[in-house]
Homo-oligomer: A and B are copies of this chain.
Amino acid sequence: MVEVKSINPRTGMMLRNLGDGSTACDVDAACCSAAAAATALEALGRSGRASMLRMMACKFESRRAEVIGIADQETGLGIERLNGELSRTTFQMRLFADVLDDGSYLEAAIDHAGETALGPRPDLRRMLVPIGPVAVFGASNFPLAFSTPGGDTVSALAAGSPVLIKAHDSHPSTSNLCAELLRGVIRDVGLPDGTVGLLHGQAAGAQLVTHPAVKAVGFTGSSTAGRALLDLIGRRPDPIPLYGELASLNPVVVTERAAKRRGSSIALGLTTSFTASGGQMCTKPGLIFIPVGDAGDDTVAQMREHLRDAPPFVLLNERIRDSFAADAGALRSGRSVTVVHAGDVGMTDGFYATALLLEVAVAELNAEACEEHFGPVAIIARYRDEGELLDRLGTLPGSLTATIHSEPADAEFAQAITALLRQRAGRLVYDEYPTGVAVSWAQHHGGPWPSTNTTHTSVGPTAIRRFLRPLTWQNSPERLLPLELREDCVEIPRRIDGQLRLASTRPGVIHHSVCT
């Protein structure tokens, strides 16, 4: 049994020893408790779960300083960034509460019995129902928004599915505190504790995804770990869906005109973006296409300037620091690679690194440069002309995002770039930067392999669908139907006999919930 240790990445020293990881019996018990809690969580109903999520938001805000303090100790992400992350986390809880009030996520549809071109049709009523207990893997780089109280947890609870959280070993104390806060609300609304389980250790994670009670998995992490979990799931008697947010290169293209006209602001924007949170963002721009020539040279030179006096970044843990060091070595030794700014590690006892920025001709780009490398590293690929750029874009792997900086006069070229990049990304960003993923209805955080392994998002309201499944009632007595499928329900949008109808009482406007 591996011990669970809380480590301060700024010093490399242990903050706390939390004892043994979860045992096989712990995992079994948590899974069975989650399964037992499913009925009560669903029975709480949409408005009950919406209240619960709003109470959770208030709870986290009331304990903001404490949560952020522990998270900062364990992750080194800094108070400002973590303050923003906590706000994002509670914003997300309230948005999902609004999604529950809105009710369209249920996709309710009623086809009344009647004659069709194919003969009589029975009464059919369809909506989405909770999938059952969900295993959620916390991410190292977002100890709040993508971990214990994060998007996957909130999606599952909103859906009505209990969660079993595998704490990330980079922030076990933060995870414990967050789970305690979630459970406080769980108890306040009268749900069983098993509604939110928390487990520690890699063995617990492996056991979770193979446990019969677990019906879906939300995972944020590397594509290697994602593959390993998929393999475990493939050996289940009943394979279940894994929703993985994996590795993403997030290419950026800067046109000649854009470099000429706003090279300075692009240089600052890109530098800020690829080093944000120590380059440990899933949307970090890892590969930046900049034209050869003066305008491009200037842009690169300004990026170098921005990096010159930057203090080193603290990385989340020792493994990330070591892997950054190994990647830096390998990338630097690539053919014809120029070092714009050297990424060094090991200056102190903590897990620090300076930014690594490399430059290479597009023709010399190797496979390794076209993969995600975690940490403050980016590669600038210099292209000679539009044809060379387009050829290379057509070979890139899938990403969460792809970014284009162009000018109005580039219209045709921008369209050609868009045509190639939209096949390789889940979000196209124009003249902005890929980091900073707004939580909103129109957001999509997903993309072709290896950025995700499904067509789902892990940010925004549509993320809830991952933890629901459709169910149709045929010729059901009214009393056995869920409220939302009964004849007289007018509170949610429904498709009735093929016609989409809005709710008669539209909640619409976002609730400004008051914390008491």
Contact = CB atoms under 8 A, between A and B. Distances in A.
A498 B502 contact: no
Contacts of A104: 495, 500
Interface string A470-485: 1111111101100000
B472 A443 contact: yes
Contacts of A510: 498
Contacts of A443: 111, 124, 126, 472
A362 to B, nearest CB: 22
A499 interface: yes
Contacts of A475: 429-432
Contact of A428 (B439, B471, B506): B471
A414 B480 contact: yes
Interface residues of A, number: 85
A289 B505 CA distance: 43
A125 B430 CA distance: 12
A388 B123 CA distance: 31
A448 interface: yes
Interface string A421-433: 0110111111110
A241 B111 contact: no
Given A116-B438, A117-B91, A124-B442, A472 B427 contact: yes
A457 interface: yes
B118 A430 contact: no
B444 A472 contact: yes
Interface in A431-487: 431-432, 438-444, 446, 448-450, 453-455, 457, 462, 468-477, 479-480
Contacts of A239: 230, 449, 453
B238 A398 contact: yes
Interface string A58-98: 00000000000000000000000000100110010000001
A293 interface: no
B462 A430 contact: no
A39 B429 CA distance: 21
Contacts of A117: 87, 91
A428 B476 contact: yes
Contact of A442 (B87, B429, B472): B472
Interface in A237-255: 238-241
A382 to B, nearest CB: 25
A364 interface: no
- What are the 8 A-B residue pairs with the smallest beta carbon separation, nearest first? A238-B449, A444-B472, A124-B442, A109-B442, A455-B469, A126-B442, A111-B442, A427-B472
